[in-house]
Amino acid sequence: MSEIDDKERPLDVERLRGDFPILSQEVNGKPLVYLDNAATTQKPTAVIDSICDYYREYNSNIHRGVHTLSQKATDAYERARVRTMDFLGAGRPEEIIFVRGATEGINLVSQAYLRPRIEPGDEIVISTLEHHSNIVPWQLLREQAGAVLKVAPVDDNGAIDIQAYKDLLGERTKFVSLVHVSNALGTINPIREMVAMAREKEIPVLVDGAQAAAHGRVDIDKLGCDFYTISGHKMYGPTGIGALYGKAQLLEEMPPYHGGGEMILSVTFDKTEYNRLPYKFEAGTPDIAGAIGLGAALEYIEEAGIESIEAHEKNLLDYATAAVSSIDGVEIIGRAPAKAGILSFIIDGVHPHDAGTILDQQGVAVRAGHHCAQPVLERLGVQATVRASFALYNTREEIDLLAQGITKAVEVFA
């Protein structure tokens, strides 16, 4: 994620909030305060309209039709691919593969890239910070191929131990897969440095960008990674759509992940000739509306200004950290020096689920649990936390309501 530069301009948050219809409602008689953005973000009208317009005006299958509706749908779908390429700083549209989300992107790389190349005893390096989606696919590969899974540790603040990570990169390391931003703690990994360390040893690297891409500038060229994954629903787009960036040379070498229509040039009972990139990896009718919605979401983020979003969310995180830290009995979990807009905490004597329920009664939506990141929470000595996570439409006034709800939870269980 980038440093803030001269492109930054203040967000007109109240105007932007008006773009999100769901935010105008009440929950349990209170104005909705939506602070569960690390789980999924809300959708602006521009995204909702883009999906409705597709179904209302030019619903048709893509690529294979010569009629007008099919051509319009194909054009919109491929424009979304180009927009994704530009958003991530990739070089070629065919390096963008539409998938269901970051999870599928990781699984695709695991099975289509690494499985044919890995031998018993070869090593895969991940980190303690990973979401389960960047742990389980590599465990499956370990079972399939006899690989060894190495895990880079974190310190007591939830920051990666960079020297320990470097020491794990050995002669038998065949792949590295790292989260860009921790969904449980908000820790921002020094990805450029970590990728560079692996690349010095010619080790390919995948970066899980699900929690990063909507909150700071991603530049694939500067990061230097071989693969990068995103999920649309975590960046104001629809669920069920995401993208995998892969270097063209590597994608060309990889076999298809799924088989079916679209990913072929010709089929006989004796032989199938696979399609060119990126279609080799997009079997069957894709989520056309989802891709169009993702393209609209990326356009919305760019128009708002990604540097401005990053600065706004950093301001919210600082404000929330101070407000929540001042409440007796509350402990923040994860205090890495570099953090995105995620605040995890526990309340002495209050189960996170109970705290989440009390906050919900106040109209405040947060997440309570292990956040599909059990290993890192166990490393920090907790089983679950309450997590507030911020987006471009959140305000300091909402942070104040969060703090009031936490205070109420403390009082209820005193």
Question: What end-to-end distance do the CA atoms of the chain give, in Å?
Answer: 41
Cis preceding-peptide flag for 190 (omega within 30 of 0):
no
Whole-number Å distance between alpha carbons of 382 and 374: 9
Catalytic choice (372, 395, 400, 404): 372
Beta-strand runs (E) in 247-375 = 264-267, 272-274, 330-333, 342-347, 364-365, 367-369
Strand ranges for 281-363 from DSSP E = 330-333, 342-347
**Measured torsion, CA atoms of residues 124, 209, 278, 237, in degrees rounded to the nearest 10:** 150
Contact 83, 291 (CB under 8 A): no
What is the pairing mode between strands 367-369 and 385-389? antiparallel
Contact at 8 Å (CB) between 205 and 199?
Answer: yes
Residue 230 · residue 102 · CB < 8 Å? yes
Q: How far apart are CA 351 and CA 236, in angstroms?
A: 30
Joined together, the tokens standing for residue 328 give 């007796």
Q: What is the 3-state secondary structure (H, E, C) of 83-139?
A: HHHHHHCCCCHHHEEEECCHHHHHHHHHHHHHHHHCCCCCEEEEECCCCHHHCHHHH
Q: Determine whether 225 is an active site residue.
A: no
| Residues tagged active-site | 372
